[in-house]
Amino acid sequence: MSRSNAYSIDTCINPDLNRLKSSWQELETRNNGLSFFHSWAWIQTWIQVYQPEILLVSAKDASQTVALGLFVKHHETRHGIIKSKQIRLLQTGKQEEDQIWVEFNGFLCHPDHAAQASIACLRALLAKPSLCDEIVISMMPKSQAEDLLRHFNNTCICLSTPTYNIRLSSLLPGHKSYLETLSRNTRYQINRSKKKYEELFGPLRLTFANSWQQALEYWNGAKDLHTHKWHDSGFHNPAFVSFHETFIKNHFDEGLVDIVKITAGDHLIAIIYNILYRKNVYFYLQGIQYDADSKLKPGLTAHSMLIEHYLHEGMKTYDFMGGHSQYKQQLAKAVDEQIILKIQKPHFRFHLENIARDIKQKFF
């Protein structure tokens, strides 16, 4: 155990899972600003399916645990010559296991200690001589990373992407509809698309899976649609599929999972997989049925119908999460950025690599 400022910092390899669950859930209960990626349901599935060798770092203020971070060691070689011992927060470093796309990354913290306890934990980890060359926090909100960027000299941002959401709580059902918040052109596209679907195929409908068995049936139904659109679809990856099938089976009955079919008559428009956490809706994955008629907008139609549904269900947000897409721009607002942050030891090889990256970004 070490001390950093006012905190006692402890590290442990492969902690007892029952004790970790208790500590994690206690902190989770205290923090209202978390995404589902920090829910014990998600963390437990990650541990159960991938069985990583976990490095737990914890911070205590007096006798109270105020921060927890789960890291995994990974050796990486970049550009054929840059070698690095990494510890990665909530990632294993294996591409097939990290394809579950963790976002809103960071330490699980007591809200009164979020910034300072995170900094203390990171300093303690960097102070260990042989533990790592760099700490990687992938897809961390930039607004939260700013404190870290101010307190650590050797950092680099490897990627930055916008994150989009809709604050449903700012719309009052019965007074202002979601469509009224959109541009005239987007409203026109959606209304025209809905009318066209109904003329060609029949009434529009949302059908939610009502059991974990049906949710898995819908999930499998999204496979062909998703793989047709994306050559690197997670459905090609057994580790990705295993994770989500386990998550859906274990947590559907807790109300964490919505998988819905959007149809016009008997015609399938889309299958959408959402995760619900603390009255926030996180859009995770979709399978879209594209038609030849360009006036049919399956993505805009499906999401606008779902957003109206969740608005009237009293949900707080509909979150499209990270990654730029035209439909996200049309349907939501960019509210932050998510970044891949590396906190590095002052090695010369990293210095040269970062200079080369800056030159490439500036001129190419």
Cα-based angle 284, 190, 303 (whole degrees, multiple of 5)? 15
Mean pLDDT for all residues in the chain: 94
Round to whole Å and give the CA distance between 67 and 120: 10
- Does 5 have pLDDT greater than 80? no
Secondary structure class of 49 (helix, strand, coil): helix
- pTM metric for this prediction: 0.94
Q: Is the pLDDT of residue 31 over 70?
A: yes
Fold classification of 2-163+337-363 (topology level) = Aminopeptidase (3.40.630)
pLDDT score of 8? 96
Residue 109, CB-side half-sphere exposure with 13 Å CA sphere: 18
Structural domain spans, the chain: 2-163+337-363, 174-313
Q: What is the pLDDT of residue 110?
A: 95
Residue 213 CB neighbours (<10 A): 11
What pLDDT shows up at residue 1?
60
Q: Which helix (H) or strand (E) holds 13?
A: strand 7-13
Q: What is the distance in angstroms between the CA of the first residue and the CA of the last residue of the chain?
A: 47
With pLDDT > 90 as the criterion, what percentage of the chain qualifies? 85
Other beta carbons less than 10 A from residue 343's beta carbon: 22
Topology (CATH level 3) of domain 174-313: Aminopeptidase (3.40.630)
Cα–Cα distance, 28 to 40 (Å, whole number):
8
Domain 2-163+337-363 matches domain 174-313 at the CATH topology level? yes
Given a cut of 90, whether residue 134 has pLDDT beyond it is yes
Q: What is the mean pLDDT of residues 276-296?
A: 96
143 burial type by CB count under 10 A (0-12 exposed, 13-18 middle, 19+ buried): exposed
Instruction: Tell me the β-bridge partners of 281.
Output: 276, 318
- The model's pLDDT over 318-360, given as tens digits with 9 standing for 90+, comes to 999 998 889 999 999 999 999 999 999 999 898 888 888 888 7
- Of 170, 212, 104, 163, nearest in space to 315 by CA: 170
The conformation of residue 254, written as its DSSP 8-state character, comes to: G
With a cut of 90, say whether residue 92 has pLDDT above it.
Answer: yes
* Whether 119 contacts 341, CB under 8 Å: no
